[in-house]
Chain A
Amino acid sequence: MISRIARKELREISRDGRYRVMAAVVLALLLLSLAVGWKKYTDLTRQHDTARAATRAQWLNQDKKNPHSAAHYGMYAFKPTSQLAMVDTGIDPYVGVAVWMEAHKQNEFKFRPAQDRTAVQRFGEMTGAEVLQVLLPLFIVLMTFAAFSGEREQGTLRQLMSLGVPSRWLAVGKVAGTAVALGLVLLPATVIGVVAFLWSSGNGLLGGDVTRFAWMVAVYLVYFAALTCIGLAVSATARSSRVSLIVLLTFWFANSLVAPRAASDVAAALHSTPSAVQFQRALEQDLSNQQEMARRLDVRRAALFKEHNVDSVDALPIAFSGVSLQEGEEHANEVFDKHFGRLFSLYERQNQVLQVAGLAAPMLAVRSLSMGLAGTDFNQHRDFVNAAEQYRRGIQRVMNADIALNQKKGQVYLADQSLWQKVRDFEYTAPSTAWVIANCSLSLVILAGWSLGSALLLSRATARLRVD
């Protein structure tokens, strides 16, 4: 019986001209966005790989020079693109792509790709995620708004109930029918997406992060299921198809277009961030704290004197200049950790507000999960920022240790390639799926809540189904 209801629902939907047009448009846009995403991903990866190799070669090919000059010359870290960024570019256009890793300073990531585009991008970029998060829900509204109310208006609902069909069956059948109609659009796109995903992974067909992909598919499917249930529940409850449509469209508008903006402004009002001037000024004030620097050097000097049983810097078996440079780094590192840590946790608190706002608008929960799984959310950006910073600190340690070891008093000390090679290449591995999920667990719970809630809503709405 259920399958018969589902088949009837599917037939009715697929015969509707509006469905056909909308399905064709959504499918076309989904494929287009995937194709463009794939192209952008491959271009970016190529450009970044080239730049990475170049910055490494520049580091290794430095002339003979003092290690500290080499540290000042430094290296660049380029933010890699994750493979699933071809579906969801997330915050990537809005964070810098490169950071200069030099002595004494944690620099900020520079060159946000969004600055190289026109104002029109603020309408949203036609990425796969945008189609899935904004257009598909609208498509679901269109398929479901008249499912019950339309039958009620035509009088077929009364006939159906007179046959003794349990209303719950009716609901399940309609969900199934809508799901198949939706699947007709999603399936080809997913298949093509999977092929593109596997194709573009560097290390063979199975090299991509399949777990992330599977999670992403699951998240979107749960979201669409929840929206289908909401659509059907509203249709079962509403006075007429017209009211049902208005209610659902209002929900769609608020959920997909208003909520992200409104929630983001609320988050900023709750946790305000400093301006760059303020940030820089506070940072520099702490950095130039000479007393703290002197205190650290005194402690270090005393420890070294005790260790080597001497009473003057000149009598030390190592060059104190290297020690003092490293002490300067340690002092600066603490300051950077404090200031950048504070700024980043402000962002994280803002993002937490956005996640909580998912309680009012499920799209926000889906968006944060989708970005997380695509590897393009703030947490993963922060992870990369930290990795680059740790690498920079590693360079300083190697250079300063070498100065301490080899610098002789009154001589010019120059190091060569053998030292440059001691700094290993910067390899970054993206965090595991489990780490990502743990970071967006709140969104996951909220999304699960929405899907359960909407299923309950549907079952209650159909239990009280009015036949006219």
Chain B
Amino acid sequence: MPTPMHGPLPHSTRACDRAARCPGAGSPRLTTSAVAVATLAIVLAAAIAIGRDPENAGAVTVLRDAARKLEAAPATPLGAGQYWYVEQRGHTLAEEREQRVRELRRPDDDGAQALDRP
């Protein structure tokens, strides 16, 4: 996630009133451009690093945190003669109602597109 940048930057014109006192820093105009480029690079690098638009960083963080916790969970290999048990509770739409929802899901501009084509 990109970190907001607050306060004077190391090579900002506020910190260096004279370019000669700031080795490596050019004119104020050039320095401002360099900072902007650097800031953009940081933002892009952060976005690329998480593989996602920064707006989705929250979901990425949650999923990666969950992944880290699962990696630490005990393994549950299935031995011969053993069974994997799953119990779930919930509700789904009745068949007729579900068909109606399926019809709603079809894109308006392509009613012939199959919902569950192979």
Asked if chains A and B come from one complex, the reply is no
Using a CB–CB cutoff of 8 Å, the interface residues on chain A facing chain B are: none
